[in-house]
């Protein structure tokens, strides 16, 4: 009988991708995924360290798992606990010390060695007076991508594909360069063959992932190097997107998360030239104050960001923007925060995430003297979120009456309903038969909620199966806000 594997994923989409790949490396050992820790033979917590609460949640979960493991052992079975991901990388020793019931701790770059570690942990567990668990958080010389098997289970109609790892930008507040390690890009051939496999397994939309995905600079395809001596040895993201758009059956491409500094001409032009590239972009700005942006080491000004948005809108007038904002970085005063509100008003976002700065161990900002009180952070966050929420509601309201191409990728909440995503990533619910799952259909939007839309299949328009969906039915943010 298959052994049961439960993976709980925290954090960003890259962790979602990594969890799928951990399941792939464990499949040959007889593990199949289950959706609860109860009765599981192996539990993996794939953790995030980006904000304070994220790691607290992991320790709370480990407390609960201790009881589950004990109960299972009392029944004569066992449960192995693995902590993976960014908390594991940053606080591996601490986890081993505080949670001795954990069997394996491994970082985001070593999970291709998981089968070997699990086997070692089993051998240790079989010995009387078993020793401490296994810790593997060195950044390896080899790339995990060269050692991962092909996916064992299809990801589905929408799929993630990590093309870039790590970060060399060292924003003062951020743990990612320490938890994920140095920046690294997968070669174009490697990415393309994985994309083809995903499409063959049913994916219609692929989101290219990286902590700094638009810093991508992967080795050019082998044929192109040999065909022309002068061809560049590396491709940037814009060129990769054009190349992937040629894959038959791949209808939609997205990418996340981008850094404003890496929005080069090639990538911006791709937004105008590649119909499969969806007309929305998550481009985190964090702050609208040049003083704070400099203190954060973001390496651009607020006006640089505004100019990038202008260039994007010239290339793709209907592009919708989303962003991450952070309030209360050390040193942020009222005038800095006012500049952030101004920037949000100027750009006009379709959607955005916003956070209170939280000091992370080992980062430069945590050691800065001028920390901001929690009360001020909360007050600023409330004010910013009110602006962003109003923008999102306005954007969604302006969609009512439009016809959107919706990729139906899952069952809806009610019988006879399917759900999917608009080109702008808004969840859309529509009455449709199950046969339309995986297809792009035109939907007339009837009503807008704050986080989703509801519509009906547009009358007189045949269901479209083979077009990107961004061509005939998109709206621009400026149009939406007018």
> By the criterion CB under 6 A, which residues form the site for ligand SF4?
167, 169-171, 174, 176-177, 211-212, 259
Binding residues for ligand F3S restricted to 42-61, rule: CB under 6 A: 48-50
Between CA 320 and CA 477 the distance in angstroms is 6
Partner from ligand SAH, ligand F3S, ligand SF4, none binding residue 49, C-beta < 5-8 Å depending on class: ligand F3S
Contact 234, 188 (CB under 8 A): no
CA distances (Å), origin 144, targets 12, 202, 216, 335: 19, 25, 17, 46
User: Residue 212 CB, nearest distance to ligand SF4 (Å)?
Assistant: 5
Using CA atoms, how far residue 102 sits from 84, 96, 106, 137, 334, in Å, is 11, 7, 11, 15, 45
d(CA 156, CA 409): 8
Residues β-bridged to residue 176: none
Q: Which is nearer to ligand SAH, 284 or 438 (CB)?
A: 284
Q: Which residues on neighbouring strands pair with residue 187, listed in sequence order?
A: none
Q: 257 preceded by cis ω (within 30°)?
A: yes
Pick from 11, 107, 279, 330 the residue near ligand F3S by CB under 6 A.
11
One-character DSSP codes across 132-175: --EEE-SPPSS-GGGTPPPPSS---SEEEEE-EE------TT--
Q: Residue 218 binds what, of ligand F3S, ligand SAH, ligand SF4, none (CB under 5 to 8 Å, by partner type)?
A: none
**Residues forming the site for ligand SAH (CB under 6 A):** 50-51, 173-174, 176, 211-212, 257, 259, 284, 286, 324, 326, 355, 357-358, 360
CB of 257 to ligand SF4, least distance (A): 7
- In the bound state, the residue with its beta carbon closest to ligand F3S is 11
355 binds, among ligand SAH, ligand F3S, ligand SF4, none (CB under 5 to 8 A by kind): ligand SAH
Which residue's CB is nearer to ligand SAH, number 343 or number 453?
Answer: 343
Residue nearer to ligand SAH on the CB measure, 31 or 184: 184
Nearest to 420 by CA among 368, 455, 463, 396: 455
How far apart, in whole angstroms, are the C-alpha atoms of residue 152 and residue 291? 49
User: Is residue 15 part of the contact set for ligand F3S (CB under 6 A)?
Assistant: yes
| Partner whose binding site includes residue 177, from ligand SF4, ligand SAH, ligand F3S, none (CB under 5 to 8 Å by kind) | ligand SF4
The residue (of 254 and 402) whose beta carbon lies closer to ligand F3S is 254
Determine the Cα–Cα distance for residues 22 and 17; give it in Å rounded to an integer: 9
Q: What angle do CA 211, 394, 313 make, to 5 degrees?
A: 55
Q: Decide which of ligand SAH, ligand SF4, ligand F3S, none touches 51; Cβ closer than 5 to 8 Å per partner kind.
A: ligand SAH
With contacts defined by CB under 6 A, name the span among 10-18, 97-105, 109-117, 258-266 that binds ligand F3S. Answer: 10-18
Position 180 contacts ligand F3S (CB under 6 A): yes
Q: How far apart are CA 66 and CA 475, in angstroms?
A: 51
Radius of gyration in angstroms for the set of CA atoms belonging to the chain, rounded to a whole number: 23
Q: What is the nearest approach in angstroms of ligand F3S to the Cβ of residue 164?
A: 12
Task: Give per-residue burial for 270-307: e unless 16+ CB within 10 Å, then b.
Answer: bbeebbbbbbbbbbbbbbbbbebbebbebebbbebbee
Q: Which is nearer to ligand SAH, 257 or 385 (CB)?
A: 257
Q: Which is nearer to ligand SAH, 117 or 326 (CB)?
A: 326
Considering CB distances under 5 to 8 angstroms, the limit depending on partner class, which of ligand SF4, ligand SAH, ligand F3S, none binds residue 454? none
Q: What is the secondary structure of 275-340 as a DSSP string? A: TTB-SEEE---B-S-HHHHHHTT--S-HHHHHHHHHHHHHH-TT-EEEEEEEE--TT--HHHHHHH
Residue nearer to ligand SAH on the CB measure, 211 or 422: 211
Q: How far is the CB of 172 from ligand SF4 (least distance, A)?
A: 9
Question: Phi and psi (nearest 5°) for 114?
Answer: -55, -45
DSSP run (H or E) holding 210: none
Q: In this complex, which beta carbon is closest to ligand F3S, that of residue 11 or of residue 331?
A: 11
Evaluate whether 110 touches 136 at the Cβ level (below 8 Å): yes
Q: Of these, 24, 85, 218, 336, which contacts ligand F3S (CB under 6 A)?
A: 85
Nearer to ligand F3S, 61 or 336 (CB): 61
Query: How near is the Cβ of 369 to ligand F3S at its closest, in Å?
Result: 25
Question: Which residues 194-233 are close enough to bind ligand F3S by CB under 6 A?
Answer: 211
Q: How many CB atoms lie within 10 A of CB 456?
A: 12
* Interface positions with ligand F3S (CB under 6 A): 11-12, 14-15, 48-50, 85-86, 175-176, 179-180, 211
């Amino acid at each position: 009988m298959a052994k049961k594997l439960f993976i709980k994923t925290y954090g960003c989409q890259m962790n979602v991708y990594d969890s799928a790949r951990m399941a792939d490396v464990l499949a040959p050992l007889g593990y199949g995924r289950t959706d609860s820790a109860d009765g599981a033979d192996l539990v993996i917590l794939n953790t995030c360290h980006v904000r304070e609460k994220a790691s607290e949640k992991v320790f709370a979960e480990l407390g609960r798992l201790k009881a589950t493991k004990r109960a299972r052992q009392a029944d004569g079975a066992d449960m192995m606990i693995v902590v993976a991901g960014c908390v594991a990388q940053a606080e591996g020793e601490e986890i081993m010390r505080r949670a001795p019931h954990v069997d394996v701790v491994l970082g985001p770059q070593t999970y291709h060695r998981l089968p070997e570690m699990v086997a070692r942990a089993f051998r240790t567990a079989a010995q009387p007076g078993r020793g401490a668990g296994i810790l593997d958080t060195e950044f390896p010389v080899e790339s995990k991508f060269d050692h991962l098997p092909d996916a064992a289970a299809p990801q589905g109609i929408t799929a993630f594909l990590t093309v870039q790892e790590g970060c060399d930008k060292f924003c003062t507040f951020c743990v990612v360069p320490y938890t994920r390690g140095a920046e690294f890009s997968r070669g174009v051939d490697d990415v393309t063959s994985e994309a083809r496999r995903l499409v063959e397994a049913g994916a219609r939309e692929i989101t290219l992932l990286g902590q700094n995905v638009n810093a991508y600079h992967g080795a050019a395809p082998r044929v192109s190097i040999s065909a022309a001596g002068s061809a560049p040895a590396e491709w940037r993201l814009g060129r990769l997107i054009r190349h992937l758009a040629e894959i038959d059956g791949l209808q939609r491409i997205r990418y996340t998360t981008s850094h404003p500094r890496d929005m080069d001409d090639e990538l911006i032009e791709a937004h105008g030239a590649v119909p499969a590239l969806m007309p929305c972009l998550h481009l985190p700005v964090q702050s609208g104050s040049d003083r704070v942006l400099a203190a954060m080491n973001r390496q651009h000004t607020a006006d640089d960001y505004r100019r990038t948005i202008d260039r994007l809108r010239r290339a793709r007038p209907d592009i919708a923007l989303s962003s991450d904002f952070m309030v209360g970085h050390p040193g942020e005063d009222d005038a800095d925060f006012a500049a952030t509100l101004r920037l949000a008003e100027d750009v006009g976002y379709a959607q955005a995430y916003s956070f209170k700065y939280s000091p992370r161990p080992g980062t430069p900002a945590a050691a800065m003297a001028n920390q901001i009180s929690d009360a001020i952070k909360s007050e600023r966050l409330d004010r910013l979120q009110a602006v962003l929420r109003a923008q999102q509601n306005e954007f969604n309201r302006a969609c009512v009456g439009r016809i959107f191409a919706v990729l139906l990728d899952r069952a809806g909440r009610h019988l006879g309903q399917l759900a999917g995503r608009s080109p702008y990533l808004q969840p859309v619910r529509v009455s449709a038969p199950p046969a339309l799952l995986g297809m792009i259909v035109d939907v007339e939007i009837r009503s807008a909620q704050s986080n989703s839309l509801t519509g009906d299949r547009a009358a007189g328009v045949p269901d479209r199966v083979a077009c990107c969906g961004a061509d005939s039915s998109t709206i621009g943010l400026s149009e939406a806000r007018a």
